[in-house]
Amino acid sequence: MEHNQKLADLMQGIEGLLSKGRCPQTDEDEALLKSCLTELRKLESNNADWRGSFEKAATLLLLLFEVYDKFKEIL
């Protein structure tokens, strides 16, 4: 239950960044955030299977690290 809430909160935060333009974004940043959101939605729809899929988890982590690096450069 707690995992589902954290996942939903993260998706809501990314959607907020994309919809409100709350921070300066390049097209590449926007594409990375959309990719993260897509992966998170896949995880949410396959919630029972997400732990068994190392590839999905690794892809999501790599995307999140890329987004973090981009925002770190902006700040």
Residue ranges per structural domain of the chain: 2-74
Question: Residue 26: helix, strand or coil by DSSP?
Answer: coil
Output the pLDDT for position 39. Answer: 83
CA distance 57 to 75: 27
Q: Along the chain (75 residues), what's the average pLDDT of each consecutive run of 10 residues?
A: 73 84 74 85 69 70 84 75
CA distance 62 to 68: 10
Model pTM score: 0.58
